[in-house]
Every structure is written in C-alpha cells, then in structure tokens.
Structure 1
Amino acid sequence: MTNLVMCAAQYCSVAGDINVNIDRHLHIMRRAVEHGVQFLLFPELSLTGYEPTLARALAQTPDAECLQPLRELAAQSGMTTVVGLPLRQPGSENILMGALVLAADGSQSVYTKQHLHPGEEAVFSAGEGGALVDIGAEQIALSVCADVTQASHAQAAAQAGADVYASSVLISHEGYARDTALLQGYASAHSMGVLMANHGGPSGGWACAGRSAFWSAGGRLVVSAPGTGDCLVIARRRQGVWQGEVVDCLEWQ
C-alpha cells in the first residue's frame, strides 16, 4: 500500500468576490504544499461562496483566464486541487454547481453536482458527475453536497473502483450529525476512505458547521477540525496506517 497525503481545505469564502477568493485559495494551496499534500479538496462553491442569487453573474467557463493562477500552481507544485464554483459550459446557458479538478500533471477536468437541494433548481441545473481522479495508485470519486444524501451515488463510486469518496459540501450545524453519519456509513459499507471539506463560516445565509473530516475505510474517524474557521484537515497514510493533523489559520497569516 502506497503512502498518501490528502487534505480538506476548510475555508471561509468571501461572498461574491471571486478574485479575492482566488488569491486566498493560492495562499492555502501553498501552505498545503508545505505539508506534503498530494490531493487538496475545497468546499462547495468555494471560489464564490454559496450565493445562488449571484451565481449567474459569477459563473465561469472551465477555461476562464481568471483561474489560470490556480492551474499553474497545481501543476508547478504537483498537487491535484479541486475548487468549487458556478460553471457555464461553452454553448450552454445552464449554470452548474461545479468542482474543477486542477491536476498535478497540468490537465484539467470537471465534476458537476448531480443532485440538487430543493430550491437550487431555480438557479442551477443538475450536472452529470465526472470521472474518477487518479492520485498515484489511488482513485478518488468526487461528490458535491446533496450528492451524498443519495446512497446510490456513493455505491456507484465504489462500484467504479473508488478508493476514496471526496465530498465538497456546505453543511450547517443542524445538518451536521445527519450528513456525517451518512459519510461515515459509506466509509464502512463500501470500504473506502471518505474526505469531507466544509465551509468554515457563514455562507449564503447558512451558519456552516466547519468540522471537516476524514474517515478511513471501515468508518474510523481519523481527523476532524474542532469547529469553524479556516484550516487544513490533513490525513496521512504511512505504511498502511492513517494519521491526522489539523493546521489552523494562524499558520496562513
């Protein structure tokens, strides 16, 4: 079994300001590189915040020039990074809740949220998912928030051969126990690791719970952020053994 370092970037988005969020993402990415991270996962809509009323104006195509610094840093550092934003595919007016995969080899792919929460359909269209992401010998399946409420989604990921189920989410204090029980259950039922990156502060009127986490295959909680705020939640596998570390925001300032 190979060594692996994965990280959930628990992040407090600046509402509606994609340029500021890009700068802050770059800073967080650099800090993650210092800790040897190979796969970095940001929360749902991390580059804009969860702001449905602003999503159409903020939506980007996957090849948008403003995202180039993120692509370059991912390739230069050799760290595959997944960022969240409203996406518009060329030739379509539909707005999708996207996870943009900036791969360590300089390539890029897209995952789009397949299952919408009630009310999101007023702005967003359901997406088509995306391919597994290769990190060395590991295959990582992506999911975005409401996707995890559908047991069939995690089951399909496992059947496709995923070693890790990585979920970019916005989870409130009220929904935290329910949603994390589902994620831990998937780790147990499908014998795959589960990585969850949550918002670390309010977004779109929601009081987000933070407490981003990683469960190893079998459902053991390896590491969790203690609460809200910006932090790196790092899971390291060395010689088949998982260990966790939380790096708080003081290291980024």
Structure 2
Amino acid sequence: MTPVCVAAVQAVVARGDIAANVARHGLLARRAAGEGARLALFPELSLTGYEPALAAQLALRPDDVRLAPLRDAAASAGIVIVAGAPLANPDGKPHIAALTFHPDGRIDTYTKQYLHPGEETAFAAGSGGAAFDVAGSRIVLAVCVDITHAEHAAAAARDGAQLYAASVLVSVNGYAADAALLQGYAAAHRMPVLMANHGGATGGWEIAGRSALWNERGELVAAVPGDGECVLVAWHGGDGWCGRIVQ
C-alpha cells in the first residue's frame, strides 16, 4: 500500500446551522492537515446535523456558495475533505450525501444507497459514487446504513479499495454491532476501514463517538475513547498502520 495519512474528524454539529458547521469543518480539516493528513472524513450529515424534518429546506447543491470555504480549505491545506449533507434532488426528496472537496477544486458526490427504516419519509435512496485517489491510495466511501449491507463492502473490495471510509451516525446502543461489522469487513476483505462518527447529540440520538480505524487484518489500530470533538489521525508508513487522537 502507498503510504498515506488520513483523519476521521469526530465533529460536534450545530443543528441546521450550515454557516457555522462549514466554518468549523474548515478549521478541523486544517488541523488534520497540520497533523499530516491528506484526507479529512466527517460524519454523516455533518454540515446540518441529522435532521430529517429539516432536510428539504437545508438541502444543498455542490456548487452552493456557502460551501466555498470548504473548497478553499481543501485547496489551501492540500487535503481532501469529505463532508455530509442533504443533497438537493431534482426528482424529489433530497439524498443523504457525502461531498468530497479535492485540492484541485473538484467536488464529487456520493449518495447513500440504503436508508434506515423511517428515512424514506424525508430522503431518497441514492446510487453511491466513484472511488477516488488520495496520495496514491484508492478510497471508497460508505454512509451509515450502507455498512450494514455486506455487499456494499464486498463491492468496495472488488473495486480495489485501499481504504473503506465510512461516515456514520452511530448511537451508544448500536455501536457494538456496527463496529463488529466494520472490523469483520476489514479482516474478510484485507481492506483497512476508517469510521468517522458524530461527537455530540444530533437528531435526538445519544451518540457513541468512538471514531476508529481497523487495519487490513481487522485489528483495531486507534479509536476515540468516547464522544466529544477530536481528530483521529492514522497513517500507513510501510510497517503497518499507526494512529493517535488529537484533541
């Protein structure tokens, strides 16, 4: 594997406040870049919070002027930023999306393929998105419930993923099961897995935090011990993966 340094940003999100969240994302992405990271992965719907009732009015387009600070941060810090947002859908309800801001100005979209029961009232299922390159490593994204479908991770492995990057909202009660799934995918597919979870309450959920990285043997390399805002930085330097938590 090409040596790469990545970050799972465990953000605490302001409900529905896109401007405040964009500003905080930029600061945290720059902090990750200062630690050597070339990828900053944020949680599901990190730019708005998990707010299905507000999704239609908060839905964004990739070229929305309010996202310009993230494009600027990606370019100036030389880091790929993956942020979560409801994505405007001309065919109906918004998608749950991961927006990827590249240092060269490109913006890619990934739309969540599977919905949690009840999400269909506010969101439409998406179609996923293409893998992308970070410092010579192939990254495949997943958003939350996508990870509960084993075929999603298997398809990522067939696509040559060198990192399966999951933006999630995982509650205290759901953490053990979801972490076990991700650990299992890492081991079964020989594919490192990075998970970015929320750091504070959103959408009425009691959030677990505990963002983590598992290596290609399914071994836990680093994990945040609980909730709260922080950055998990992990890198592969030839002898395997290492990680640390930056408060």
Q: Same fold (TM over 0.5)?
A: yes
TM-score, structure 1 normalization: 0.96
**2:37 match:** 37
| Residue in 2 that maps onto 1:23 | 23
- The amino acid across from 1:101 in the alignment is T
Structure 1 stretches of 4+ moved >4 Å? none
Alignment of 1:64-83 (within 5 A): 64-83=64-83
Q: Gapped runs of 5+ residues in structure 2?
A: none
Deviation digits for residues 85-125 of structure 1, max 9, x if unmatched? 00014x43330000000012221100000000000000000
1:48 equivalenced with 2:57 (yes/no): no
Partner of 2:176: 177
- Please name the residue that 2:123 is paired with: 124
Aligned to 1:103: 102
1:218 CA drift (Å):
1.1
Task: Give me the whole-angstrom Cα distance separating, in 1, the residues matched to 2:164 and 2:151.
Answer: 13
- 1:225 aligns to what? 224
Specify the alignment match of 1:243 in structure 2: 242
Tell me the CA shift for residue 202 of structure 1: 0.6
Instruction: Give the deviation of 1:147 after TM superposition.
Output: 0.1
Q: Distance in 2 between matches of 1:110 and 1:134?
A: 14
Q: Which residue number corresponds to residue 8 of structure 2?
A: 8
* Maintained 8 Å contact 1:2/1:240: no
Determine the structure 1 residue equivalent to 2:160: 161
Counterparts of 1:187 and 1:235 in 2: how far apart (Å)?
Answer: 15
SS of residue in 1 equivalent to 2:71: helix
- In structure 2, give the amino acid aligned to 1:62: P
Amino acid at match of 1:76: S
Residue 202 (1) aligns with residue 230 (2):
no
Give distance in 1, aligned partners of 2:56 and 2:93: 9
Indicate conservation of the 8 Å contact 1:44/1:144, yes or no: yes
Hey, what's the Cα distance between the residues in 1 that align with 2:135 and 2:79? 11
User: Does the 8 A contact of 2:210 with 2:225 survive in 1?
Assistant: yes
Letter in 1 for 2:162: D
Answer yes or no: is the 8 Å Cα contact 1:3–1:240 preserved in 2: no
**Match in the other structure for 1:148:** 147
Output the CA distance in 2 between the equivalents of 1:143 and 1:29: 19
Q: What is the number of equivalent residue pairs in this alignment?
A: 247
**Scaled by the length of structure 2, what TM-score is found?**
0.98
1:251 equivalent in structure 2: none
Sequence identity (%):
51
Cα deviation, residue 78, structure 1: 1.2
- CA displacement at 1:33 relative to structure 2: 1.4
Secondary structure at 1:85's aligned position in 2? strand
Q: CA deviation at 1:12?
A: 0.9
Corresponding residue number in structure 2 for 1:216: 215
Coordinate RMSD, CA, aligned: 0.9
Secondary structure of the corresponding residue to residue 67 of structure 1: helix
Contact kept? 2:49, 2:203, Cα under 8 Å: yes
Residue 134, structure 1, aligned to residue 115, structure 2: no
Q: Is the contact made by 1:222 and 1:244 (CA closer than 8 Å) also made in structure 2?
A: yes
Task: Name structure 1 gaps, 5 residues minimum.
Answer: 249-253
